[in-house]
Amino acid sequence: MRVVITGGTGFLGRRLARSLLDRGRLVDHEGKERAVETLLLFDKGPLAATPPDRRIETREGDIADSAALARLITPETDAVFHLAAVVSGEAEADTDLGYRVNLDGTRLLLEACRAAGNRPRVVFASSLAVYGGELPATVGEEVPLSPQSSYGTQKAIGELLVNDYSRKGYIDGRALRLPTVVVRPGRPNRAASTFASSIVREPLAGREAICPVKPETVMALSSPRRVVSALLRAHDLPASAFGANRSLQLPGFSVAVGEIAEAVRRAGGEEAYRRILWQPDPAIERIVSSWPQQLSAPRAAALGFAADGGIDEAIAAFIEDDLEAQKALS
C-alpha cells in the first residue's frame, strides 16, 4: 500500500508514522490487510527528522499548492491521513493563513484524491472546536455545529467536504473530532490549548509553564496514544460502519485544569507543581471556554473507540514515551 500523511513530520504525523511502520499493514478498500510498502510524509519545510526506514519518503511542500498535491496523490495512493493544519490560535490571529491552509488545503487535497480516480481512504483530523455557543452540559454528535473561532469553522467545513466527496464516490472518507491532545511533547505552539500540555510537560522537565485559564476550567482530553490508535482504527473500519455521516465524535476524558496541576504534583512532587504559574489571559479563556467540557460518544464506543482512564494515565504515558527527550530540549 502507498500511504500519505499530510503534516507527516509534525508531532502526530511522526507518531502515526512510527505506529504504521511497527504495524506494517493496513486494511484496503476490499477489507483485506496489505503491507505498507510506501509511507509518504508531506509537510512544510524544514522537515523534521524521520525514522530510518526504506518505506519512508518525505516531501516538502505547501498543502494549498494544487500542483504539489497532484504530484503527491497518485492513482497508486491507497490511504491519506490528513493532519496538516494551522493551529487554533494562529488561525484566529491570521485569518488569511488559516483559511488558506485549513480550508483551501483540505479542498485541494480532496480534489487531488478525486483526480487520482481510485477512491482512496481519507482520514481527516477535525476538532471539538466545531462546537460552540450555548452548549449543553454533555456534548455529542446531536449538538449542532456552531464554531466560535475561525479554526473551528474551517474544521467544520472540512468535515462537510469529506462527507460530500464520500457521497459522490471520490473518496472513502472519515472525519474524527479529536479532543485536546495531552500531553504533546516538544515546544509550545500557537494553539489556544497549548497550555494544557505545557503545564505538564515543562514542570516535569524542570521548567516553568504559564497557565492562562482558571483552575476550575474543564477540558475534554485524549492522550497521543489514544489519538493515533483512533486514526488507525478509523481507517480500517469499512464505510458501512459510518453510514451517511462520515464525521465521528471521539470519546475523551474530562478534567479541570486545577486537577491537571494536582496530577503534576502527584507525578513530580511539590517542586514540579510550583513551576506552574497562574497568569489569566481573557482571550485564551474565551476560546477554551467555548469548547465542550463533557463528551458523549456512543457511536464511537460502539465502533470500538475508547477514552483514556484519566489524566494520571495520560501523564504516565508522557513520562514513559517522551519525558527524557523533553528534558534534553534546550
160/233 Cα distance (integer angstroms): 21
Say which residues have a Cβ less than 8 Å from residue 88's Cβ, sequence separation at least 6: 127, 129, 149, 151, 152, 190, 191, 192, 193, 287
Whether the link from the prior residue into 288 is cis, omega within 30° of 0, is no
122/166 Cα distance (integer angstroms): 9
The bridge status of strand 33-35 relative to strand 25-27 is: antiparallel
Residue 192's alpha-carbon distances to 180, 283, 284, 287, in angstroms, are: 10, 9, 6, 7
Alpha helices in the chain (DSSP H): 11-23, 66-72, 88-93, 95-98, 105-116, 150-167, 194-204, 224-236, 257-274, 282-289, 298-302, 311-321, 323-328
Strand order in the sheet with 38-43: 56-60, 38-43, 2-6, 77-82, 121-127, 172-178, 247-249
Cell readout for 253 is: 476524558
DSSP-derived letter for residue 169 is T
Q: Partners of 255 in the beta sheet?
A: 219
Q: Which of 151, 165, 170, 273 is catalytic?
A: 151
- Output the CA torsion 227→233→236→239 (10° steps): -90
Let me know if 99 is a catalytic residue: no
Task: Return the closest-CA partner of residue 247 out of 326, 143, 148.
Answer: 143
Residues classed as catalytic: 151
